[in-house]
Each structure stands twice: as structure tokens, then as C-alpha cells.
Amino acid sequence: MTAAERNSNPAPRGVMRWPLGLHIAVVLVLAVTSAITVLGLLWLMLGVPRVQVSGPLKPSDTYDAIKIALAVVAGVGGVVALVVAYRRQHLSEATDAREYDKALIERFGAAAEQLGADQPAVRMTGAYAMARLADEWPQERQMCIDVLCGYLRMPHAPDPPADDQELASWQRERAIRVTVLGLIAAHLRDGAPASWQGYDLDFTGAVLDEADFRGARFTGGNILFVKTLFAGHGTDQIVFDETEFADGSYVYFRLAEFRSGTVRFNRATFSGGWVTFDSARFTGARVNFRDAAFAGGEVPFEDAEFSASTIDFNGATFTGSTVNFGEHHLPSIYRTVPPARFSGGIVDLSQVADFTHPPRFGLQELPPGLRLPPGTNIADLP
């Protein structure tokens, strides 16, 4: 179970269901048992002294017995009072908890309504409100994150329209989406006041043209960029610089399209988990893995298509990850995933810093656009 699953499914608050009489009886039995146990231990510690009878009871003995009886009655009354006070306090706390939960639910509804408003400023406010609520409501943090990701999955034109009025509307919507991505990324970095590391993030089918995940850590959960369109404009970029893909994370760029702009994984660390680019299409963007460290986990590019992009691995180190551009057979479902297709794009591995654990290609001839380190024969690679 991931950290997100544990946080999203906390233990339920205790609810007192015992009748008052039964509760008092149980406490009295426990009190009497404890008293008898203490007296017995004292008696044993004193050497098991014998009780001597001194004759008929004196008036002073009677008074002492009455005092003891009154003390016992007072003790019983005190136990009853403590039980009643405890239950009253418990019920008060339960009521306060219900009111607090009710307030959180109302805040969630208000933030969700703001995200669906017509006015861009209201939608922007809703994004901040939902992120703040996620920080304060760990029991339902995943639900709040799902709403923010769901907003990004709403339809959005990847290219700016020609009409001035439509362009202004497109730019305002784009600013909101960049803000939502910024809020999510800020919670994935170490030192965030409330960490969202380990939670699921679903960007399936989203259009991303500017996002900064610099320094984020993916330490668990499912991170879905499935069928996501990366389409930067001008100097706008998708940045994963210094990002760590750690053990336990599952990051899917499956069927994603890198159409334009620059997507950077510079100095990113692939130290575990699963980061897949299988069946992705690199059709126009520049994707940089400069100085990236492939030290663990699996990074498949199976069935990926490189037709017009430049994939730059300058300075990257391949020391432990299983990076696979080749064919992959799945015996459990009797299916074979075809190898990556090099039909016009450039995949540049010529300037890598460490090639001790090279990617798999499964090819006998060097295809156009694939550049290997000097002296490396494609047929010698696994």
C-alpha cells in the first residue's frame, strides 16, 4: 500500500457505543479489580500478616467502618462522575469533528464550483482553494488532487487561435493551467509544507505547453502522462530538470506525443521504479536527457516513433537502468511489443558520459538518425 493509500484511508474515529450503565459497570469492575490487586500485592509484600480479632466492636470501630463505607460510596460516585464527564467530552469532540468534516466538505464543494466558473479569475481562485484544502485534509487529499488533475484533462486547444478575442481567452485559460501545474509540482518537491509525493497524478489526454517540475520527486503512486500532448510554443518548455524517478514510482508517458517546443529531463535521476515511453511519438519536439543518470529501474522506449524530433543524451550516464528501444515479448499475454522506429528523428547517444550499461536495441544495422558513441557497434549491443 502506498503512502497515498494509507493517508486516503485513515482509521475511523472511535465512536462510543456502550450504554451508560454498562460503561459505568465495566469501569467499577476494573477499579475494584485494581484495588484488590494492589491490596493483595501489599499483603504479600508485608509477609502475609495474620489478622487478629480483638473482641467486640467498639464505637470507634463502628465510626471507622462508617467512614470507610462513605469513602467507598464517594469513590463509586467519583467513578460515575468521571465516566459521565468522559462521555460528555467524547461526544463534544465527536460533534466538533463532525462539524469540522462538514466545513471541509463545504469548502470542497465551493472550490469545485469555482473551478467550473465562467470567469477566469474565479477559476484561478478555485485552483488555489482546492490545493489549500488538499493540504489541510489528508484523509481526502487524493480526491482534491484528482479534481486538479481533472481540470487539466478538460479540452484545451494546443495552438493559439488567430482571432484576437479568442486568443485572449486562450491565454487566460492557459495561465490557469500553468498555475495548476505549478501548484502540483511545488508539492512534489522536498521541503513542501504538505507533501503530495506518493499520490496518484492523472494527466491522461491533457495538453501541456508549459510546466516546471524541476526538482520534483516521484516516490510512489501512478503518474499518468498517457496520451498527453506536449506542445510548447516559442521558448515555453516542459521542464523535468533534477527530477528524481525513485523506486516505487510508476510514470507513464505511454502514447504521449512530443510535438513541439522543448521537453527537458536534464540531470534527472532514474534510480528505480518504472518510467515508460512505450508507443510515444516524438514528432517535432526537442527532448533533452543531458547529464541524466540512468542508475536503476526500467525505462522502455518500445514501439516509440522518432520521426522529426531530436533526443539528446549528451553527458548522460547509463550505469544500471534497463533502457530498452528494442522488441519486448510479454509471455503472460502472448504479445510482442515491436521495437522503436527511427524514421527521421535524431536520437543522439554519441556524447554520453558513461555507457557501461547501454540501452537495448536488438538491431543488426544502425538506423538513420541513431547516433552511438564512437567505436560502438549496434550489433554488439543487447
Whether residue 127 has pLDDT greater than 70: yes
Roughly what angle, to the nearest 10 degrees, separates helices 120-136 and 141-152?
150
pLDDT of the residue at 21: 62
How many other C-beta atoms lie within 10 A of the C-beta of residue 9? 11
The residue type of 186 is A
Please spell the DSSP secondary structure of 71-94, one letter per residue: HHHHHHHHHHHHHHHHHHHHHHHH
Closest of 373, 315, 357, 363 to residue 342, by C-alpha: 363
pLDDT band at 12, cuts 50/70/90? Answer: very low
Q: Return the minimum-mean-pLDDT range out of 84-98, 202-216, 362-376.
A: 84-98
Q: How far apart are CA 80 and CA 24, in angstroms?
A: 6
pLDDT of the residue at 33: 74
Query: What is the mean predicted confidence (pLDDT) over 71-87?
Result: 64
pTM, entire model: 0.77
How many other C-beta atoms lie within 10 A of the C-beta of residue 173? 15
pLDDT band at 121, cuts 50/70/90? Answer: very high
Which of helix, strand or coil describes residue 294? strand
Partners of 335 in the β-ladder: 330
Residue 229 phi/psi, 5° resolution?
-100, 120
Higher pLDDT: 328 or 245? It is: 245
Residue 78 phi/psi, 5° resolution?
-65, -40
Please spell the DSSP secondary structure of 274-340, one letter per residue: EEE-TT-EESS-EEE-TT-EEEEEEEE-TT-EESS-EEE-TT-EESS-EEE-S-EEETTTTEEEPPP
Query: What is the mean predicted confidence (pLDDT) over 286-308?
Result: 95
> What is the share, in percent, of the chain residues with pLDDT greater than 90?
63
On whether the CB atoms of residues 4 and 221 are closer than 8 A, the answer is yes
